[in-house]
Amino acid sequence: MAVDLSHKGNKQYLASKTCNVCKRPFSWRKKWEKNWEHVKYCSEACRKLKKKIAVVD
């Protein structure tokens, strides 16, 4: 029996990054398939907070 190491049902094989705002790791999502190299934030909320954090620094 062969073991399938694809990401379907097993998320440990997905690419991951660290969010620039909250510093938490987040995994690749299908909706980011075409622009994964440009994704910097784990959520819309963190993307909106980037401006507030930049002003405080």
Task: Domain ranges for the chain, please list them.
Answer: 15-56
What is the DSSP secondary structure assignment for residue 9, as one 8-state letter?
T
Distance, CA of 34 to CA of 3 (rounded, Å): 28
pLDDT at 6: 60
pLDDT at 2: 52
pLDDT tens digit sequence for 16-54? 999 999 999 999 999 999 999 999 999 999 999 987 776
Q: Which amino acid, 44? A: E
Rg (CA), the chain: 15
Q: How many angstroms separate the Cα of 26 from the Cα of each of 2, 3, 49?
A: 29, 25, 17
